[in-house]
A and B are shown apart, each in its own frame.
Chain A
Amino acid sequence: MILKELWVRDMAGRKKWEQLLRIVGVVGPALITVNAGNDAGGIATYASIGANYGYKMLWGLLIITIALAVIQEMNARMAVVTGKGLSDLIREEFGVGWTLFAMVTLLVANIGVVMGDFAGVASSMELFGIPRYISVPVMAFLVWYLVLRGTYERVEKVFLVFTLFFFAYIFSAFLAKPSWGEVGKAVITPTLELNRPFLLTFIGMIGTTITPYMQFYLQSSIAEKRISWKDYFYEKVDVYFSAIWGELVAFFIIISTAATLYVAGISVDSAAEAALALKPLAGEFAFLLFGLGLFGASVLATAIIPLSTTYAICEAFGWERGVNYSFREAPVFFGLYTAIIVLGAAVVLIPSLSLFKIMVVTQQIAGILSPIILIFMIKLVNNPRVMGEHVNTRLQNVIAWLTVLFIIFLTLTLVLVQGLGL
């Protein structure tokens, strides 16, 4: 249906295949971003939502999908109109102080996400009997080295293929024969439990989807593509389609874990338990499928996030950046990049910490921090000096602000519940 729409638009004198090439050229950044968002933390969060709460949070996922689509469209629009990355815009419009605040927020959230992903590396490898003390240092070094050498792109495809294994959840969800009536009802019936685990899990679900790093990453990758305003329609298609696609995968992970683990009363505390949800489809191969998928997704994220975080921060403060520089020319860039990886990997090596917990908790931190970056974004996208006539519509503003207020509301409720000892 989308394709048909594309054919009809802007066909004046252009051949069909030319049109298609144009679309392929534009579509992409959002899809990659959303896919990267379904990383270790995402998988773990969705699996534990399904296993612990059944279908109860599905309504939230629907709302998040809408919020994600609106927010990512704002990023895409800012990228196309200004040609600048988000940190660039924050610096130019808000000055040094606010930039520092935004960048510290981004750094804290992202170090967390990187920890979650190294925990993903560790727990996927543990499924194959490789202890984390070997897998994490080895992968951390490998990613660090390959990305800096610029040879990472060649191996990227392998990890991308691994992530396709997560599509197994879609089939598994159907094979588990969930009660679709119940699923449908849960999607449209908001339920909120006023206790700490529920609220935290819910915030984690938001945090893993509307995570701060994605906004920076998406906006720079679209800005880099130099898409002109007349091709913006296609980028919008990319953004909306990706939001739905990414959340569809999440949707099926929740359903398949709910239909298998929740029903059986198994709460997910480890990767091995999360893999159980794939049993209806893969039987004994469930571990293999889940393990490789988790590994691929985690490695992808550890390669993308430290680098894009470092870029964003160096861009904001005007430091030399890029893997083409030498360490002497760009000490901050290399230092920060290395520190994020080392820190992310080191925490995972603390013996007493549960890997699964790291994956889930780091998403919750990202969720609590996400309104900060969102507020910067809403301010920017409504500034006519930045956006000209392409400021937000009233509807976009309502959705964006409701998202921010909702996350803040959840956080405050959490604090309140915590204080009252509920």
Chain B
Amino acid sequence: MILTILHTALHVVVALALPPLLLGVIAKTKALFAGRVGPPVLQPYYDLWKLAQKGSVFSTTTTWVFCAGPVVGLVTAVLAVLLIPLAGSDAPLSFPGDVILLAYLLGLSRFFTAASALDTGSSFEGMGAAREVTFACLAEPAIFLGLLVLAKLSGSLQLEKMLGGSLAAQWSAAGAPLVLVILSWFVVLLAENSRIPFDDPGTHLELTMVHEVMVLDHSGPAFGMVLYGASLKLFLFAALVVRLALPQSAGFAWLDWPVFIAGMLGVAVAVGVVESTMARLRLTQVPVLLVAACLLSAFGVVLLLR
């Protein structure tokens, strides 16, 4: 009982405290590749603290929907990270079918983030919102095709079981489909979190951006919520990929958690490497890459069901 409570507490602490660190690691990796020193790894935490203290400017065209965007984005991301197993095999909230709730929570967040962008009446933010929802239409099937593979392997629709320790035993039997799903979901991770090659979070040219341009008018604490929510979303997708790749559980918390956290940092470094070595895709090429991600997962399903 006490162990369960401790485990849950650890889960909550890691899931809420670690995400900004991933952004810091990505920035550091990119700086190293560019031969710069770069900002400190903890810079995102300082940024969040600073934003929480700042005043805000609201556009006169906005309504309450403008503030709903950051709140919904953050709350849905917090609920979502409580649904996935991190280290070991337990998630604080778990039930059969929770995997579909996870996907639809992200949908809710997307709905309100895009609506709050449209609330400003700016064509830049409208453009960003349009791109976000369009790319999501292609990313969503890729996620669900991957879920088909996991559902078939685990015989369950509960994330705890789909990404649980039993997945380790499946690696020998169904390694190829799992590798395909990991590749596909990594592409989805880059797309959903607006990283290169889909989007360039570092640029200041509004026309080229997706996520950043949607939140152009947010400021102060609300913008802090947006940033924190976005880092939680990155954490969520990274955790899915890490659990897929490293499902083994030693059974000891002191071993499982460090392995998991190392895996998460590894994903952050991988994102940094992709960002440093690739250029942003032309906008018209983005759907092509996402369809490729769908096909990777679809091949995984076919391999499994043949």
| A and B: interacting chains | no
Residues of B bordering A, CB below 8 Å: none
